[in-house]
Amino acid sequence: MNNFEFINPTKIIFGKDTIGKLENEIPKDAKVLLLYGGGSIKKNGIYDQVKTALSNVEVIEFGGIPANPEYAKLLEALHIIKEENITYLLAVGGGSVIDGTKFLSAAAYYDGDTPWDILTQNIRTEKGMPFGTVLTLPATGSEMNSGSVITRVETKEKLAMGGPGLFPQFSILDPQVISSIPQRQLANGLTDAFTHVLEQYMTYPIGALLQDRFAESILQTLIEVAPKVLKDPTDYKAASNFMWCCTMALNGLIQKGVPTDWAVHAMGHELTALFGIDHARTLAIIAPSHYKYNFETKKEKLAQYAERVWGITEGNINDKAYAAIDKTEAFFHDLGIDTKLSDYTKDYEGTAEEISKRFNERQWMGLGEHQTLTPDRVEKIVKMAY
Ligand code: NZQ
Ligand code: ZN
């Protein structure tokens, strides 16, 4: 096992009817900017619950943060934060609203030329404006981590940022919010969380027995609850397990002491930036090709995953490892998620070259757990995913 340090300061408030507990978490003298997305919270009752809980605090609202939070839109919110002397941010939404709020938390205290530098120059945020979240969509884990991904439509870019100052102070997770989530977003959430675990597991064995079993248990639980959540999003037992899996998949715990990959995400983000494909779907497009291309270096963990998660006992290590890739792809299909780029766009020619060129320009010369995934290799993987 590798050496590691672990800190996660986010307070989680989990369970039925917990949104009202907001009242106890935000300082009474705070001036709050309440941030939300396209308006789903006004239809499903979450907005009303939040407003009731905030009735004793001064609140200004900013709605309309789109999926794949857009830089230009966030600059409007940043303007309000400065004009109105906001002191506390509250994100009510899924990964996009939370990530947008993290960007604002960083940008509010940033005194460089333009906040876009935070993304292009990998500026880590040591201290951001304090914020909390009310999670409405389990998927990204953003509610309990310090990362964020911001999109800029103007330049078709989607870039990541983060730093120890960007953990939410608290996150409220009421699984009842799942009942209003459309099937497409439920499938996305299951796929995103599943792939988060794979990115931190599908590398090479390092004798981290507990981390492996943490990861496998999240995968098994997601497989178990997926059909139940899709069939009946009001099934609280399934919903609560789904929600906690998504948080645990990317709150830092399972990646401690083990090698991580994250190349599927790096390539996937480009597909969202270029074609607007939902984040989770880009992962389902790239992952099978990534595992096939890197088969030799990943086959031990692939075979372990085959045995422990999918119960595959037949054949040699290669047979099991291949079967595991097929099982993974079939799982995505069962969720209603297509796994080829050509399923999403007819305009895919040249995509692999474009992504490889971008990685070259950013000098991303070695992705993956061995830092050996050069842009020319990325090009091959993306082509395999056409
Ligand atoms: O905008 P509204 O109207 O709220 O509707 C949203 C949106 O259309 C809707 N929705 C959310 N909760 C709902 C609901 N509809 C009905 N009932 C509810 N309770 O769902 C749609 C998608 O929301 P979004 O926040 O975009 O989805 P998700 O949580 O999947 O977030 C995706 C974003 O997170 C980033 C992705 O790149 C993408 O930009 N990621 C962030 C990560 C992180 N910070 O750690 C890691 C991930 O790998 C990922 O990259
Ligand atoms: Zn993801």
DSSP codes, 268-328 = HHHHHHHH---HHHHHHHHHHHHHHHTHHHHHHHHHHHHHHHH---SS-HHHHHHHHHHHH
Residues 219-241, mean pLDDT to the nearest whole number: 98
Task: Answer whether 141 contacts ligand 1 (Cβ < 6 A).
Answer: yes
* Structure confidence at residue 17 as a pLDDT band (50, 70, 90): very high
Closest ligand 1 atom, residue 272 Cα: 37
145: its two tokens: 């981590």
Task: Answer whether 70 contacts ligand 1 (Cβ < 6 A).
Answer: no
- Summarised one tens digit per residue, pLDDT across range 105-151 is 999 999 999 999 999 999 999 999 999 999 999 999 999 999 999 99
For 104, the 3-state DSSP assignment is helix
Residues 344-361, mean pLDDT to the nearest whole number: 97
Whole-number Å distance, alpha carbon 27 to ligand 2 midpoint, is 32
Residues 191-205, mean pLDDT to the nearest whole number: 98
Share of the chain above pLDDT 90, in %: 100
Task: Answer whether 145 contacts ligand 1 (Cβ < 6 A).
Answer: yes
Residues 77-94, mean pLDDT to the nearest whole number: 98
End-to-end Cα, the chain, rounded Å: 37
Q: Residue of the nearest CA to atom 15 in ligand 1? A: 181
* Structure confidence at residue 8 as a pLDDT band (50, 70, 90): very high
Q: In the chain, where do the E strands start and end?
A: 11-14, 31-36, 58-62, 88-93, 131-135, 147-152, 157-162, 170-173
How many Å is the maximal CA-CA distance in the chain?
A: 65
Task: Answer whether 150 contacts ligand 1 (Cβ < 6 A).
Answer: no
pLDDT of residue 320: 98
Q: Residue of the nearest CA to atom 3 in ligand 1? A: 38
What pairs with residue 161 in β-bridges? 148
Task: Answer whether 303 contacts ligand 1 (Cβ < 6 A).
Answer: no
Whole-number Å distance, alpha carbon 34 to ligand 2 midpoint, is 24
Task: Answer whether 251 contacts ligand 1 (Cβ < 6 A).
Answer: no
pTM above 0.85, yes or no: yes
Task: Answer whether 168 contacts ligand 1 (Cβ < 6 A).
Answer: no
Query: From the CA of 70, which ligand is nearest?
Result: 1
Closest ligand 1 atom, residue 97 Cα: 25
Task: Answer whether 149 contacts ligand 1 (Cβ < 6 A).
Answer: yes
pLDDT of residue 168: 98
pLDDT of residue 233: 98
CA dist 183 → 16, 37, 178 (Å):
22, 18, 10
Range(s) of the chain covered by CATH 1.20.1090.10? 182-384
Q: Residue of the nearest CA to atom 31 in ligand 1? A: 95
Distance of CA 226 to the CA centre of its chain: 18
364: its two tokens: 């991303």
Contact assessment for residue 174 and residue 15, using Cβ atoms and an 8 Å cutoff: yes
- Of 139, 140, 158, 134, which Cα lies nearest the Cα of 40? 134
Whole-number Å distance, alpha carbon 136 to ligand 1 midpoint, is 8
Q: Find tokens 């876009």 and name the residue.
A: 116
Whole-number Å distance, alpha carbon 296 to ligand 1 midpoint, is 34
Contact assessment for residue 302 and residue 325, using Cβ atoms and an 8 Å cutoff: yes
Fold annotation for 182-384? Dehydroquinate synthase-like, alpha domain (1.20.1090)
* Structure confidence at residue 374 as a pLDDT band (50, 70, 90): very high
- Of 208, 197, 168, 212, which Cα lies nearest the Cα of 8? 168
Buried b (16+ CB within 10 A) or exposed e, 226-257: beebbeebebeebbbbbbbbbbbbbbbbbbbe
* Structure confidence at residue 53 as a pLDDT band (50, 70, 90): very high
pLDDT of residue 250: 98
Residue 252 to residue 211: CA distance in whole angstroms: 11
Q: What is the CA radius of gyration of the chain?
A: 20
Whole-number Å distance, alpha carbon 31 to ligand 2 midpoint, is 32
Class of the 11-176 domain? alpha beta
Range(s) of the chain covered by CATH 3.40.50.1970? 11-176
Our mutation pick for probing the ligand 1 site, out of 136, 200, 265, counting the most ligand atoms within 8 A of Cβ, is 136
Backbone angles phi, psi at 137, to 5 degrees: -145, 110
Task: Answer whether 96 contacts ligand 1 (Cβ < 6 A).
Answer: yes
Task: Answer whether 252 contacts ligand 1 (Cβ < 6 A).
Answer: no
Q: Residue of the nearest CA to atom 34 in ligand 1? A: 95
Task: Answer whether 10 contacts ligand 1 (Cβ < 6 A).
Answer: no
Q: In 94-190, where do the E strands start and end?
A: 131-135, 147-152, 157-162, 170-173
Task: Answer whether 282 contacts ligand 1 (Cβ < 6 A).
Answer: no
Mean pLDDT of the chain: 97
Whole-number Å distance, alpha carbon 9 to ligand 1 midpoint, is 22
pLDDT of residue 12: 98
- The DSSP 8-state label assigned to residue 132 in this structure reads E
Residues 310-336, mean pLDDT to the nearest whole number: 98
